Structure 1
């Protein structure tokens, strides 16, 4: 396993936002999808559904960062968002697609996850897109922060519990690694600088953006665990 830094939340702004909605984050870490990943009992069908929906989500996530860059006030803000977008396009999306091929080869059943964005995925990506259109680079960075931070928190929490040869270890390796840790720390440093430019007048609004995105993170795991697709697109195991 790759060595890793211990702290997923390193920036002052991120710490403040994270502390503003503790109940949501407690429910995130307690979710059965993640608990079953740790024990190796999560069904392949659920993980396939998750990967299919997460791939659609990440494609929109990258576009949202491009929108944020277009609405940025300064060139350095453009660069910060471009770096985050490049990570999604160059690293996370290819990894998702490779894992998806592997899990299909292992016999994971089709539960309709590839047929269209499920309602929760659509709600989450629509929220991000709306935030980008209505706001600026700061709004976008705050909206994507729960996803970026929670994945490292989750992976760091589970990595010592999971069997070394588990399929889910491959998913975690990227998020516990130093490469992702450095990028996440830099992202939070950039967020601190950007937040300092606008001052404290937007604190309440930014906390609401962060809390909504955090709630949608929990909802996304819940959707994946229950394979919740639009009723006319859902596929029952053994019939699709």
Structure 2
């Protein structure tokens, strides 16, 4: 079994938890509280900004041509696709720059981003790349699953449509193939780091839904 399939199996509890989390099930049913979705979008704005920066940083450091090309493409696609769509959502929902600045970054969003940066500092380029895969892969699978039933709330349906389709499937397939190749050529220590990085990111994906659903905040709010 390949690295990516083994890693997904190791992260199966958090992976399955994401599909069954009330944020996801209620979003598809059209009953998710709009304030929860709003809070998610604001926290995701912070996350995606750093996710894009991480693509660029890892691409700059890697000597693997296919990985470098993929990460550069990912960063470009993120700006043109997901981030652009989020800006449209912000406009429709009246989420202003002032509101974003006034909303503290939630602990889970902060920790997830910190985890991925940490791979560049204490891990390896390959473990950093492995930490990035669960986001794209999980969202692609969520999109393909949720698209089978139309959400009655148009903005929720458009969120789902962002991640569904053949193009997303092919892109994740390529990213997985590159990581499988890198894993095979890595030392046992680096392989363990890649596995750990993937599993932690998968856990953080589940925690991100929980963070948004409960509007998680730091205990001290008056920073």
**TM class, shorter-length:** 0.7 to 0.9
Name the residue aligned to 1:174.
Answer: 162
Would the alpha carbon gap of residues 127 and 141 (structure 1) be closer, same or farther in structure 2, given more than 3 Å must change? same
Whether contact under 8 Å (2:11, 2:199) holds in the other structure is yes
* Structure 2, gaps ≥5 residues long: none
Cα deviation 1:183-223 (Å, max 9, x = unaligned): 21221122222223225553332221111111111111101
Contact 1:174 1:180 in 2 (8 A): no
Would the alpha carbon gap of residues 114 and 60 (structure 1) be closer, same or farther in structure 2, given more than 3 Å must change?
A: farther
Aligned-residue offset at 1:231: 4.7
Structure 1 residues 13 and 47: CA distance shift in structure 2, 3 A:
same
Does structure 2 retain, via aligned residues, the 8 Å contact 1:72–1:136? no
Displacement of 1:180 after TM fit?
A: 1.9
Match of 1:53 in 2: 43
Q: Larger % of helix: which?
A: 2
| Matching residue of 1:193 | 181
Taking structure 2 as the reference length, the TM-score comes to 0.88
Which of residues 64, 70, 76 in structure 2 aligns to 1:74?
A: 64
CA 1:76/1:98 → structure 2, altered by over 3 Å: closer, same or farther?
same
User: How large is the RMSD of aligned CA atoms in angstroms?
Assistant: 2.4
SS of corresponding position for 2:31: coil
Gaps of 5+ in 1: 1-10, 235-240
Which shows bigger deviation, 51-60 or 21-30?
A: 21-30
